[in-house]
Structure 1
């Protein structure tokens, strides 16, 4: 069954509801999946704590041994193989070119971002339980949007009137100089990759070929009959650059701050005793201490992000393990909902407690006092519940008091 309203389509299907035995079987499968998720989340959390400590130790080690260079024009032999810090302007003899659009710049990177105006399908579902079967209403809506990736319309529910081109005439690309210097030192590929502060390229630096059908409008170069009213298949391109070289006509060269190992005239990765590689680059003038502080902050944010992901996996794992409980009572209207709420709260508490326990075990290896403190914290809810239960007077005692 189909209902069509302009660019919206609704498909109605029916699905047989699983029997009680089938739902029990699915719960048993979910139980096995839940065990796998618990193992995976525990491993992720434990690994993350070791990674966080190792990174922190590497950063502390780096800050303690880094040598500020007094000159960026001379590579002193005494600094060879050591971790050095310097601030200097960028320089490259390479010219980043996009010949199709007449762009030639003395910069480290030139980025061409291409988007095509295409049909995009949105899908939403609503389900209605009708006793022995479920009514599924799937709605499809279509809109025209700028997308950097090619959207295949062959998989659309309704292809009629929503066809997209099969390819893009122009693709996105980043042109990168393979030789970049700061002072007299050459940056490694990893350091060059860290130069990312892009700025949009103005119309005056783009040489649009005559009779090309291209038009510059609102920061983009359009391949369209009317950029103000684009049609499906139209292309728009934005050019950006970063790392202005000393020879560039764009203005003053960009300054960067670098912490890396000096190997002759090359700046490359430094291996710490803790086991990490240090190879830092920040835009602008920044002290070595500030650079290491920024890296510490990034490490903290990453650590908490992975902790949340590990907890979420663990919560889903407990949900799979306990799904059989809700399956046994979900046919009871009110009881099923209450049990589901209770099981959900229990899963949240268990996942938080177990996550803290795994984190504590990870920290015991590196910082025993903190690790044991976290371990005690993970058992705090259970300790408090025991204390409350022991301190609560019995009903018989209350009768004796009030009698």
Structure 2
């Protein structure tokens, strides 16, 4: 069953709101341009850091005792292992390896809405919003007090159990002790069947095992029922590029930034650097495109009053939005190009200097060509015509 609400807004009120939107549109445009400019520096610094690391990295076995005492960038691969077990003290669940994770889902009401807007002659707008309510499993608490129709769709005020993670603080790789900031980069969580025989008595009475998880469901799920999943982070082979100093493996810190590359499995140092360069390039392009979209939205807000003004005749308002949308896209593209290009050149001053010198040379050459006098035509060597008889 859906609930529908209807709201109406007059033309003058819409126009006033659109003028306020100009300020936010300009903020969007300026913020997007600044983001794109900054991104060029970030991408270049990361690329230089990876290139320098590629040149400096050495195999752990190639580091002598003196080099290890001084510290340096090294490539290490082998079995990453941790002693002991990880324990969930509330559910008394244990796991071998690097970590144990508990993820809790609760059966709750969720609100979904669909909005339809209609513009009438004269510029007023009618908004029809339909609210739908469905029951879903979610690992985040949904606040039902914010629902349009809270009556009959109440969720519990808190989760009966919290999601938690327990990870080791010490582990070994080859003959090295791995620092916690390196361990935090290790992924590869795997599902773990719950150990029902280890549950405390009070929980064993209220929880059952279903499809490798604990649950309070008995028949059809009811609002407030929970499902509890357990996952473990196993030991296993990893490949790492990081700072080795003595018997410690940590993060390499340089003026350009921090360098730590880690992947599950056996990978060469070259493969680790290539993957990192690909991620850096992908992130750079994602920020460029995101800045362009944000700028397009911003220009759309700047031109918003024109569309609202034209809404006095709805078909004219739709046409105006199409035109201003196209103009906004063109402007966003042009300014994005300027922001990206200026950031690219700003962080490469040597190239900027070459371009300035080339432009100055071209201007000087054109000036000299303009001042050079045009040579006079040479006198004709043809004999004069014979006299008329």
Residues 26 and 214 of structure 1: CA distance in aligned 2, closer, same or farther (over 3 Å): closer
- Per the alignment, residue 361 of structure 1 pairs with 342
Query: Secondary structure of the residue that 1:225 maps to in structure 2?
Result: coil
Residues 335 and 371 of structure 1: CA distance in aligned 2, closer, same or farther (over 3 Å): farther
Superimposed CA distance per residue, residues 328-358 of structure 1 (whole angstroms, 9 cap, x where no aligned partner): 4333454443333222112111211211121
1-structure distance, mates of 2:342, 2:82: 50
1-structure distance, mates of 2:200, 2:7: 58
Q: 1:305 aligns with which of 273, 283, 286?
A: 286
Superimposed CA distance per residue, residues 93-148 of structure 1 (whole angstroms, 9 cap, x where no aligned partner): 24200133332222111110000111111122223345565443221211111010
2-structure distance, mates of 1:239, 1:114: 9
- Per the alignment, residue 234 of structure 2 pairs with 243
Superimposed CA distance per residue, residues 353-385 of structure 1 (whole angstroms, 9 cap, x where no aligned partner): 2111211111113457988999xxxxxxxxxxx
Q: Say what the alpha-carbon RMSD is for the aligned residues.
A: 2.6
State yes or no: 1:118 paired with 2:99: no
State yes or no: 1:38 paired with 2:29: yes
Kept in 1: contact 2:120–2:314 (CA 8 A): no
State yes or no: 1:219 paired with 2:212: yes
CA positional deviation for 1:183:
2.0
- Per the alignment, residue 98 of structure 1 pairs with 88
Q: 1:342 aligns with which of 287, 310, 323?
A: 323
Kept in 2: contact 1:61–1:272 (CA 8 A): no
Kept in 1: contact 2:263–2:272 (CA 8 A): yes
CA positional deviation for 1:310:
0.8
1-structure distance, mates of 2:339, 2:238: 40
2-structure distance, mates of 1:345, 1:33: 20
Where do residues 11-160 of structure 1 align in structure 2 (5 Å cutoff)? 11=5, 13-19=6-12, 22-70=13-61, 76-79=65-68, 80-131=70-121, 133-160=124-151
TM-score w.r.t. the length of structure 1 is: 0.80
- Per the alignment, residue 268 of structure 1 pairs with 250
**Aligned residue pair count:** 351
Residues 131 and 166 of structure 1: CA distance in aligned 2, closer, same or farther (over 3 Å): same
1-structure distance, mates of 2:246, 2:99: 25
Residues 123 and 326 of structure 1: CA distance in aligned 2, closer, same or farther (over 3 Å): closer
- Per the alignment, residue 368 of structure 2 pairs with none
Query: Secondary structure of the residue that 1:70 maps to in structure 2?
Result: helix
Q: 2:305 aligns with which of 324, 335, 353?
A: 324
Superimposed CA distance per residue, residues 258-311 of structure 1 (whole angstroms, 9 cap, x where no aligned partner): 1111122211121234x1110221111111110011111110111111111111
Query: Secondary structure of the residue that 1:101 maps to in structure 2?
Result: coil
CA positional deviation for 1:205:
8.2
Kept in 2: contact 1:310–1:355 (CA 8 A): yes
Kept in 2: contact 1:92–1:181 (CA 8 A): yes
1-structure distance, mates of 2:7, 2:76: 68
Superimposed CA distance per residue, residues 307-330 of structure 1 (whole angstroms, 9 cap, x where no aligned partner): 111111211222222233334433
Kept in 2: contact 1:45–1:355 (CA 8 A): yes
Residues 159 and 27 of structure 1: CA distance in aligned 2, closer, same or farther (over 3 Å): closer
Determine which structure has more spread, i.e. the larger CA radius of gyration.
2
Structure 1 runs not aligned, ≥5 long = 1-6, 245-253, 375-403
- Per the alignment, residue 247 of structure 1 pairs with none
2-structure distance, mates of 1:136, 1:341: 21
1-structure distance, mates of 2:344, 2:95: 51
Query: Secondary structure of the residue that 2:329 maps to in structure 1?
Result: helix
Residues 305 and 333 of structure 1: CA distance in aligned 2, closer, same or farther (over 3 Å): same
